A and B are shown apart, each in its own frame.
Chain A
Amino acid sequence: MNTTIADQNIDERSALSKLWTNREARSVILQILTMAALIGFFAFILTNAVANLAAVGKTFSYDFLSTPASYDINQSLIDYTSRDTHLRAGVVGLLNTLLVAICGIVLATVLGFILGVLRLSKNFLLNRISYCFVEFTRNVPVLLHILLIHGILVHSLPHPKVASTEYNFADLFFLSNRGVFAPKPIMEPLFWATIIAFIAGIGFTMWFKGYAKKVQDATGKIYPVFWIGMAAVLGFPIIVYVITGMPINWDVPEFQRFNFSGGMVLLPEFMALWLALSLYTSAFIAEIVRSGILSVSHGQWEAAGALGIKRSRTLNLVIIPQALRVIIPPLTSQYLNLTKNSSLAIAIGYMDVVATIGGISLMQTGKEMETMILVIAIYLVISLIISSFMNWYNKRIKLVER
């Protein structure tokens, strides 16, 4: 019979090839093979690592973190001396990374939005200037920006002695090749009242925004939320500050025989890194902003006009929410890039986390494996935090569709 021949045909094939033709069985086999290859690979490199470490007489441990670092760091946000531990040196480096990343993100966003809007301006000159700046900035490596700006700051700005007279802004700010010197605020105990007032102002504004929306939904009356909020967040703390007798003293830098003393200093390394990262990233943000605004079709303006919405409110209620939906995801990756690029600090000697833990601590202790794993883990955590925050924000501003 025909069926028996067919059955024989099937039976002639081995059990393995039968399994292979079955879709589900095949996917299980493939995954087992992948898993095996992966485990084999990790086993291979781990045994190699153990054998190699044993051969040079090293152990894998993080004990070195609690031993004295015995090197100096020229900029630190917390107290640090060379007698402190490697762990504390790493924390100082991490804070420096975060400082330059946050400052950079703020400046890059502001500059990027300005440049992006100028790129769309009808004014021919402004449009072209913005275009040239964006194209030149983003087509040059960021490391080159950092080195160039650092070179300009160190070689072109004068020595403090000259700076104290020529690059002197109202006896408060001084530009010199040892950094930018500025007055340093010293807070008196009563200043806490101003901080509390500021926080209370923010809290009030958030409550008032909800209240105003409720009133608008119920009665259609619109409160000037922005101005009342500004008064609460800025005006109220200023009044408290004045009433409590202006409890801030300014420590103004003064030139003494060789250098400035007092005040606070922004080192050329920090300035160069901050400016270079901000300029470089702002060029990318400008393009993102431009394409985001262009992505909202002109019909949206016309539709809002047809509904009788004022032009200023059209921007707030119709255009910006839709443009932000396009702008936010690539903006997140630019923030991440800026944070990752801050690791180039090591090229000019700004003491960030790569330069402290992954640089000098590595050299001093010879713990390549431990320090590099630590640095990589820190960057992964920062990346995860930024991207999860931006994902949350992205979800919040997403337009609700049918």
Chain B
Amino acid sequence: MSDITQTYTPGTHPDMPPPVGQRGIVLWLRTNLFSSWINSLGTLIAIYLLYLIIPPLLDWAVLDAVLNAGSREECRAIASGACWAFIQDRFSILVYGFYPAELRWRVDLSFILLCVALVPVLFDNVPYRKPGLLFSIAYPFVAGWLLLGGMGLEPVGTDEFGGMMLNTVVGVTGIAFSLPLGILLALGRQSHLPIVKSCSVCFIEFIRGVPLITLLFVASTMLNYFLPPGTTFDLLLRVLIMVTLFASAYIAEVVRGGLQAIPKGQYEAADSMGLKYWQSMRLIVLPQALKISIPGIVNTFIGLFKDTTLVLIIGLLDVLGIGKSSLADAQWNGLSNEVYIAIALFFFAACFGMSRYSIYLEGKLDKGYKR
């Protein structure tokens, strides 16, 4: 049995498999985790860190967690981990605020319509895009009618708005109305008229220089002083105005970036066609500039959506405000980690999704412009 030798004609010998260290999981481990001694040290530190963090977190959030209980004491009696029963108990108020329960279909419907209205804005190869865009422009008013009621629907006061719905309302309204304003400001900043230009610059730099929270304080305490005596209007409306002004400064900077990225030849070509200023902007420059600034606009929206939580400081009950105030409930007190982590997961899911979209878009635009 010892001399089993096989002979091959030259060039027909089958390839030997690579040595163990050069293939499969060993190769992967070698190149990715243990390529040098410093790399190996990093791997060991990382494993130790994960060992410190993951098992206790898993125990707390999943293995020892309680899903069904009536109060904090019941939770603690069952297991020592997270008391998600609290979130379950408060879920509907965290989502809808104090919106009347039998009218919540209106909130759901306006959310579904929001998704419909976003499709033609976000994706450029959908059928019926033109009429879709018209619907997108009309959407804020449709949603306003649905949420506030009136004209055939039962009216709902803005003091009953709250929860995630309030965050979405403030964020979407802010971005929808700040877009036209921001485009005007960006054009103003690029303008050759010195007064128009300096006004735009002053406005943009002023808004970008102060924190949103001071502007919200202005809205809640000072804005009434600047209006004709006797006018009072809704706190939510005042907040929406301030948020719109705030977002418009940031949108203006994003759009300015887009305008500056358009080659000068495009402006000159529009001029040589005999187009007037507004015609050349509307037909030649803005379509190109806006297209490349969409990722920036999405990022601004992510920032604005996160900033909508600040309204809790002036007393509006957004999702964080409701979470924070429900901690005062004697039955459930001391469960701040559960509440804040649940809300954090909600924001993470929403904002991470949007940032993925913006990265996808950047990649797509990059391809179009790369030669």
Contact = CB atoms under 8 A, between A and B. Distances in A.
Contacts of A34: 193, 195-196, 199
Interface string B331-358: 0001011001101100110011001000
A214 interface: no
B112 interface: no
Interface stretch (B46-54, B63-71, B172-180): B46-54
17 contacts: A27-B192, A30-B193, A34-B193, A38-B199, A48-B227, A52-B227, A122-B32, A139-B302, A140-B344, A143-B312, A144-B344, A151-B340, A340-B212, A372-B217, A376-B210, A379-B209, A379-B211
A380 B210 contact: yes
Contacts of B309: 141, 143-144
Interface stretch (B14-22, B35-43, B78-86, B147-155): B35-43
A256 interface: no
A151 B320 CA distance: 13
B167 to A, nearest CB: 9
Q: Choose among A31, A123, A358, A384 the residue with the greatest number of B CB atoms under 10 Å from its CB.
A: A123
Given A52-B224, A140-B306, A143-B310, A121 B42 contact: yes
B233 interface: no
A356 to B, nearest CB: 13
A344 B50 contact: no
Contacts of A372: 214, 217-218, 221-222
A31 B193 contact: yes
B43 A123 contact: yes
A172 interface: no
Interface string A356-376: 001000100000110010011
Contacts of A147: 320, 324, 336, 340
B32 A123 contact: yes
Contacts, number: 153
Contacts of A53: 225
B55 interface: no
Interface of B: 31-33, 35, 39, 42-43, 45-47, 49-50, 192-196, 199, 206, 208-214, 217-218, 221-222, 224-229, 302, 306-307, 309-310, 312-313, 320, 324, 334, 336-337, 340-341, 343-344, 347-348, 351-352, 355
Interface in A22-78: 27, 30-31, 34-35, 38, 45, 48-49, 51-53, 55
Contacts of A347: 312-313
A124 interface: yes
B345 to A, nearest CB: 9
B274 to A, nearest CB: 14
Given A144-B344, A148-B341, A124 B307 contact: no
B334 to A, nearest CB: 6
Contact of A35 (B195, B313, B352): B195
Q: Choose among B45, B348, B351 the residue with the greatest number of A CB atoms under 10 Å from its CB.
A: B348
A106 interface: no
Contact of B352 (A124, A135, A142): A135
A48 B347 CA distance: 40
A336 B218 CA distance: 21
A343 B209 contact: no
A238 B192 CA distance: 60
Contacts of A294: none
Nearest to B347: A140
Contact of B225 (A48, A122, A139): A48
Interface string A324-349: 00000000000010001101101100
A31 B196 contact: yes
A347 B217 CA distance: 13
A152 interface: yes
B338 to A, nearest CB: 10
Interface residues of A, number: 53
A48 B221 contact: no
A368 B225 contact: yes
A126 interface: yes
Interface string A155-171: 11000000000000000
Given A45-B226, A123-B39, A340-B211, A143 B320 contact: yes
Given A143-B310, A375-B217, 9 more contacts: A123-B42, A125-B33, A139-B348, A147-B340, A148-B336, A354-B211, A368-B225, A376-B218, A379-B211
A48 B214 contact: no
Contacts of B352: 135, 139
A376 B134 CA distance: 39
A302 to B, nearest CB: 21
A48 B340 contact: no
Contacts of B343: 144
Contacts of B225: 48-49, 52-53, 368-369
Q: Which 4 A-B pairs have the closest CB atoms?
A: A151-B336, A139-B351, A340-B211, A383-B209
A48 B232 CA distance: 13
A383 B204 CA distance: 13
Contacts of B210: 340, 376, 379-380, 383
A347 B340 CA distance: 14
Contacts of B224: 52
B226 A49 contact: yes
Contacts of A136: 348
Contact of A343 (B208, B213, B228): B213
Interface in A148-197: 148, 151-152, 155-156
A129 interface: yes
B209 A384 contact: yes
Contacts of B211: 340-341, 343-344, 354, 379
Nearest to A383: B209
A140 to B, nearest CB: 5
Contact of A358 (B32, B214, B226, B307): B214
